[in-house]
Structure 1
Amino acid sequence: MPHNITIFADDDIIDALEHFLKAFYPSFRIGHKASSYQDCLEPSIQNKADIFILQAKSPVTHVDDLLFALQCAGFSPVYVLFQVFAPGKIRYATTTFTNPLAIKVNEIFNNAVKGIFMCEHLSFRTTLLNDDVCSSAESSARHESLLEILRGCNQQEFLFYREKYGLNLKGNGYYLFFWELMGVEFTDHESNKFIYNFSGEMLLRECYDIINQYNGGEVFYSTPNLLCIILNDLDIRSEAGKRVKFEEMVRKLAFCTGNKVACRYLSARVDDIKSLRYAYQKYHSEKSLSFFLRDMSVIRPALIEEQKRYTDVKTINTLLHEITDYLCYDLLNPSLEAELYMLYFDILKPAMSFTLYYSSIAAVYNAMAEVQYSFDDIMPVVNNSPNLLQFSSIEEQYDILLERIQELRSTRMRRMSSAVVLKAMNYISEHYAQDISIMDVSKALFVSNGHLSQVFKREMGMSVIKYLINYRIEQAKKFLRETEEFIYTISENIGYHDFRHFSRTFKEITGLSPTEYRKQYRLNS
């Protein structure tokens, strides 16, 4: 059976593997030589690669992105993840040998590179500390002491832990930096546990290397998906110099931990070891906000407060009325996208409120569901738990919504096969300012009232008269926004000769009187 390999590695390793396969394993071929982790995905899907050989390069966290993307694409390949950790030396991990192909791939990789590298195959205890000479029991106790500091300990307990386990925690203030895989479930963990353990250890060591360039600290896993870094505040007298160096360190940590499926968070400075507990708790209360802040490389409490902005309820309701009107009555109007963008990025993103997000999006999706086209996959959003959105962002959800609206538009265009409906809509758009009735429309189209009513209701999900009313109100809103015309003049211009009737109808549909609507729009502008 032929096997396709995707490889991301240095040229000498690729060449060695390629020559070895040609000589001894012709049924194995390199189908794609990737230039980065990101370059692995699409060609591998096309080639149906069943083997991935990946060299660990900084940032190693991009391995997690690739493995998760492959899992989502339905791939279950054999992996080799290796690191050139010294000249002429490689250490590597593979998919577990419960997979027979993994045994063969291990043999191939080891024999292909042994002429130029000494190889160490890791099958694997997770290293939680950077002290390789610690015994397993001492490492566990040291790790537990760090967890206890996060959970909360007094000064006497801290001094005991620092002395006993040699913790590199000084007394001039601290920060907490977190990296957490958000909402990611690696369903292949049993078969690829050595890969994940190896990747996790390399990340830990990369972080240690960075902070030890400055004033040190401790790096450890609080859970398998949560890396914690206790940073010693920098010992630099100049505040400006300290700030420059500290931001330099944070940028390096952000790059090192910079994968798509993770949250990065930096606490405010705390003065003493006891306060680390509160910084730890604050992280857990704020990490879900990464949904709104995915474009921020590192989330910080001060930046959250700086960017948070609230919009009054009336403004939101007005905008939602406009959006739902477009969805129900004017779906093809290009202004719909502009209104949705305003909702998502001018209101919901800076508000950082899941309650507001879910209530607003529920209104949008409910309006889409009401459009009578059997969109079974579009369901109203009812659960307001931020946990459902941990592996997502507001930008991603916006793109998903636009895709669904495009599907809805395509469906409507396919179903509007009747020329009668299209002609009726065109007639209304040209004559809405006149005193027209369904009889006028049907006469213009040379069809009976009954036939027009039946076909229009079936294809548009509403009666001709309701469509006419909503079309007029949409035009009224446009006049209110874009002109200084008196409201009674606008009423006449859209086909309402009774000003009170117009005002009453406008408020029934929008929730605001024409005057209130114009005032609200101007305030927002």
Structure 2
Amino acid sequence: MFTLALKLIIYTDNTISDMITTYSADFCKVVYISKSYDECVEKAVEWQADVIVFQLSNPIYKTQNFFVDLAETKLSPVLLAFTVVSHNEIIYSITSHHDSCLIDKLANYFTNALRNTYDCHFNYIGKEKDVDNIMTTRIKKLEKTEYLNDILRGVTQEEFFYYKRKGCLNLRDSGYYLYLYNIMDIEYMDHDLNKNIYYLVGEKLIDECKGVLDIYNGGEVFYINPTLLCIIINDIPCKSQALYQQSIMELVKKLNNIVYGILKM
């Protein structure tokens, strides 16, 4: 029985795209190497792509816009999203699919293509060998998020300090600013299929925001729900009122540039 190879479009840095394209596989064929998210969507429509392999890049709002653009095409390709977390490590996620053999083939294809340079970790709890590490990490983050949400609802001073200690919360004792960002009007319709990919993107958004907070006096970033992001900013100690106002305005502007960029304009 003859089966057509799946049409695959990739959007990664040049080194990784070279590794993928030079590694052969019978079940899929790279039909286009994209140079941008916009081009990736355009070529996905042109080629009616079955699979899109793409690298998460900063600023992460560009990836969010890519999801919106792709949804508007009404295409439903299998997505493989990955991020480089160190010089030799990659974390990746794949669309949930009823054909588990296809997912296994795609995962093996990706990891084998990069194995000489990267250790690739599949961020998916269905893989028994990784389930403990993945779930332990997720549970810790979920616990921390629940502590923060409970603080928002109102807690006693004793509860606050317990949560702060238990969750290693970066909340100082000098007062706070609270910012809420409505990331999008509705959740993605394919959230059940691409939950792990959106989780990966959400983690990168949190990391980008935390990077800004750490430049000043720290704070915490977490999701109240999939569409609502909360940022608790530690007040900035400063003797000069003018410098204080300038620092606050700079911090908020940087956060707005990260978060508001997510919204498709």
**TM-score class, shorter:** 0.7 to 0.9
Report the AA paired with residue 71 of structure 2.
Answer: Q
In the alignment, which residue of structure 2 is the partner of 1:241? 243
- Distance change >3 Å, CA 90–CA 139, structure 1 → 2: closer
- Aligned match of 1:41: 41
Candidates 185, 201, 204, aligned match of 2:203: 201
Q: Distance in 1 between matches of 2:149 and 2:214?
A: 21
- Counterpart of 1:61? 61
TM-score, scaled to structure 2:
0.84
Question: Whose strand proportion is higher, 1 or 2?
Answer: 2
What's the counterpart of residue 131 of structure 2?
Answer: none
Residue 221 of structure 2 contacts residue 230 of structure 2 at CA under 8 Å; is this kept in 1?
yes
State how far apart, in whole Å, the 2-side matches of 1:42 and 1:244 are: 42
Aligned to 2:252: 250
Contact 2:81–2:93 under 8 Å retained in 1: yes
Q: Deviations over 1:172-212 (max 9, x none)?
A: 22112233332233222222121111111222222222211
Aligned: 1:102 with 2:120: no
**3-state DSSP class of the match of 2:248?**
helix
The residue that corresponds to 1:73 in the other structure is 73
RMSD: 2.5
Instruction: Tell me whether 1:25 sits opposite 2:26 in the alignment.
Output: yes
The structure having more radius of gyration, on CA atoms, is 1
Shift of 1:110: 1.1
* Aligned residue pair count: 252
Map 1:336-485 onto structure 2 (within 5 A): none
Q: 1:34 to 1:236 in 2, by over 3 A?
A: farther
- What is the deviation of 1:146? 1.0
Q: Which residue of 1 aligns with 2:222?
A: 220
State the distance in 2 between where 1:60 and 1:158 align: 32
Change (3 A) 1:148 1:84: same
2:214, 2:163 → 1: CA distance?
20
SS at match of 1:81: strand
SS of alignment partner, residue 69 of structure 1: helix
Q: 1:253 to 1:25 in 2, by over 3 A?
A: farther
* Equivalent position SS for 1:84: strand
Partner of 1:121: 122
Instruction: Identify, as 1 or 2, the structure richer in helix.
Output: 1
Asked if the contact 2:12–2:54 (Cα under 8 Å) also holds between the matched residues in 1, the reply is: yes
Change in 2 beyond 3 A, CA 1:136/1:55: closer
2: CA distance, partners of 1:59 / 1:138: 26
Q: How many Å separate the matches in 1 of 2:138 and 2:111?
A: 28
2:16 corresponding residue in structure 1 = 13
Letter in 2 for 1:15: D
Tell me how far apart the structure 2 counterparts of residues 13 and 219 of structure 1 sit (CA, whole Å): 31
Q: Percent identity?
A: 32
Could you tell me how far apart the structure 2 residues matched to 1:25 and 1:256 are?
A: 41
Partner of 1:158: 160
- Aligned 8 A contact 1:5 1:50 in 2: yes
What TM-score do the two structures reach when normalised by structure 1?
0.44
Q: Is the alpha carbon distance of 1:137 and 1:94 closer, same or farther for their aligned partners in structure 2, counting shifts above 3 Å?
A: closer
Listed as ranges, the gaps of 5+ residues in structure 1 are 126-131, 262-293, 295-525
Partners of 2:85 and 2:15 lie apart in 1 by 16
Tell me which residue corresponds to 1:82.
Answer: 82
Q: CA deviation at 1:15?
A: 0.7
Assess if the C-alpha contact under 8 Å between 1:61 and 1:199 holds in 2.
Answer: no
